[in-house]
Amino acid sequence: MSATLPVRVMVYDAWDTLTLDVPPSMSLGDLKREALTRARVRGDPGEYLVKFRGAELDDETRSLQEAGIPAHGSLIVLPRRRRPVR
């Protein structure tokens, strides 16, 4: 088994896709914070959620391995609340 898990994370606010090699034991919350930091998105990470295959991963204390994220899996980090169109 590989020591790292390659994943792609789309950060909605930055409209940027990051490729990260992280340990499978990393929590979803830590992954979200890392993605927001690398995409230079400021703000409270608690105001963002993580989705995989269209479903919200609401227990961010779970590891990527526990959540069933495969190698090269694609996740999205987006705001919890929808923003109005101006």
Domain with residue 18: its CATH number is: 3.10.20.90
CA distances from 76 to 7, 26, 54, 80 (A): 11, 16, 9, 12
pTM of the model: 0.88
Q: Is residue 84 part of a domain?
A: no
Determine the pLDDT at residue 2: 57
Q: Which domain holds residue 44?
A: 5-79
Determine the pLDDT at residue 86: 73
Domain total in the chain = 1
Averaged pLDDT, groups of 10, the chain, 86 residues long: 87 93 97 96 93 95 96 95 74
Q: Is residue 86 part of a domain?
A: no
Q: Is residue 85 part of a domain?
A: no
Determine the pLDDT at residue 69: 97
